[in-house]
Amino acid sequence: MQSFDIETYKVSSQLQRFPGETRPSRVLEMTGPVLYHGIQNHAFFAFNPFFDGVWTTPVAGYLTDGGYSGLSVVGWFPLAEYSYYYEILRNERPVQVLYDFRDAGATSGYLSMVGLGTSSAQIGHAPSESISAAMSNIARIVPMPIDRDLPMRTK
């Protein structure tokens, strides 16, 4: 399995209408850091109902080696999987794009696997949902002080 780091990402959501069909889609555009030689890798993950179900061709994406422009990985995912990938980008660090070529020895072409992953992290490194909820409730319960609550200051 091969990979590259992700430094930034953009999110977009679209709705396309065709005669007799409405197709929602989500896109995650990810960019890696500029490497020491100036090359920067990119990934574009498309989430669309068109990609649902079983495919007769064993492909999950495509990789183009742009030379000095860097790698460009495209992944095709079912719409229902969007939230999984978005949560990884939002909550984990560092994150890598992971991929495997369909054909052994290939350096560009169709991918049999594409996705996101993290490097080793300590268990429980992220705040739990219950802590976030508790802090949100405390913020609502404990009011901000106003002038009459504060002691008088002497000049």
Lowest mean pLDDT among 16-20, 54-58, 70-74: 54-58
What are the backbone dihedrals phi and psi of residue 148, each rounded to the nearest 5 degrees, phi first?
-70, -20
Mean pLDDT of 17-22: 91
Instruction: Work out the mean pLDDT of the chain and round it to a whole number.
Output: 84
Burial class (CB in 10 A: 0-12, 13-18, 19+), 36: exposed
How does pLDDT run across 57-116, given as a tens digit for each residue? 889 999 999 999 999 999 999 999 999 999 999 999 999 999 999 998 898 999 999 999
Helix (H, G, I), strand (E, B) or coil at 52: coil
Going from N- to C-terminal start, the domains of the chain cover 2-144
Task: Output the pTM of the full model.
Answer: 0.75
